Structure 1
Amino acid sequence: MKEQFLLLLDNHRGLIQKVCNMYCNATQDREDLFQDIVLQLWRSYPTIRGGSKVTTWMYRVALNTAITRLRKETKGERFAELGPEAFQVPAVEGGSSEEMAAMYRAIRRLSQVDQALTLLYLEDCSYREMAEVLGISEANVGFKLNRIKAQLRTLISKA
């Protein structure tokens, strides 16, 4: 069981790092959160269900751990800001780095849950996977994504 878990971690290390990048600015905070997520994954590993994808389970545990830690954080600013490295999205053809920076600034202004949903969307997760990770209905995922897109358009146009 231990070997399978370590192999799973090795294969999906990038998933955990993206969540850590989303919720932490400082390297030390990212490393601490990474360890917290790995610990929570290990604790819940025996309960993994075969019905959902492993990455869905990992996102759920990682995002819940990050959001829970964020809520407990007394200094707020240590975790709250989303840096441009969080999504690691390659530049869109024809899009300038200024446009990308504006997008990242707009994403930073979203709620933590909306940032998580945006990450899952950018990772090309299906509505079903997003719903499973966040514990909401697929219809709610669609509603929230439409609201987020409109919110991002407004935030970028005001920038």
Structure 2
Amino acid sequence: MNKELEHNFVTHLEQNQNIVHKVCRIYTHDIESHNDLFQEITIQLWKAFPKFRGDAKFSTWMYRVALNTAITLYRKSKRSIPTTDFDTVDFKISAEEYDDEEEQQLKLMYAAVKELNDIEKALVFLYLEDKSYRDISETMGITEVNARVKMNRVKTKLKKILNP
């Protein structure tokens, strides 16, 4: 494998790994699942990286791959997902410590988000990341108007969940 390609990938991943951690937190319920999903997303990013053309920002592309991997993995959770052994990849990434002890408000919000369907979770995630509706529509593959409408519906749904 091309060392320059590998170096570029590791650099981009280290700079943006918080994106993957946030996706993992939304789609998993425990640290083992979080780590498994982080590994699977990293592998999928590595496999897709040679095809990354730079048409969008790396972070936008990374969101899309991470969300698609998480959604696919958990929609097919009844079936076994083929994975690649991470030990066969010879690059090392210095991982940031993941702190599972967040404020109570954040925990309540994550609990409410977990009650949403996969697409709604992705919308909320991107919205909370301060992505514009244009970026959300590009990442999700929907129109900007559709992203706004869906987000308004999700906000209403979250209000009902948090304030029954």
> CA 1:56–1:142 in 2, change beyond 3 Å: closer, same or farther?
same
Q: Hey, what does 1:94 align to over in structure 2? A: none
Any conservation in 1 of the 2:23–2:70 contact (CA below 8 Å)?
A: yes
Picking from 54, 59, 62, the partner of 1:58 is: 62
What are the ranges of 5 or more consecutive residues in structure 1 without an aligned counterpart? 76-84, 92-96
For normalisation by structure 1, the TM-score amounts to 0.80
Greater fraction of residues in helix: 1
CA 1:49–1:28 in 2, change beyond 3 Å: closer, same or farther?
A: same
Query: In structure 1, how many angstroms separate the alpha carbons of the residues matched to 2:107 and 2:39?
Result: 29
1:22-101 to structure 2, matched below 5 A, reads 22-74=26-78, 97=104, 101=107
| Distance in 1 separating the partners of 2:151 and 2:54 | 27
Q: Return the alpha-carbon distance in structure 2 between the equivalents of residues 100 and 2 of structure 1.
A: 35
Q: How high is the sequence identity, in percent, across the aligned residues?
A: 41
The TM-score with structure 2 as length reference comes to 0.77
Please name the residue that 1:80 is paired with: none
Q: What is the DSSP-based 3-state SS (H/G/I as helix, E as strand, rest coil) of the residue aligned with 1:12?
A: helix
Q: Which residue of 1 aligns with 2:83?
A: none
Q: Which runs of 5+ in 2 are unaligned?
A: 80-99
User: Aligned-pair distance for 1:27?
Assistant: 1.5
Equivalent residue number for residue 129 of structure 2: 123
- Indicate conservation of the 8 Å contact 2:64/2:140, yes or no: yes
After TM superposition, give the deviation of residue 32 of structure 1 in Å. 1.2
> What RMSD over aligned residues (CA atoms) do the two structures have, in Å?
1.9
Aligned-residue offset at 1:74: 1.9
Equivalent residues, number = 139
Matched, 1:4 2:2: no
8 Å CA contact 2:26–2:114 kept in 1: the answer is: no
- Secondary structure, in 3 states, of the residue corresponding to 1:35? helix
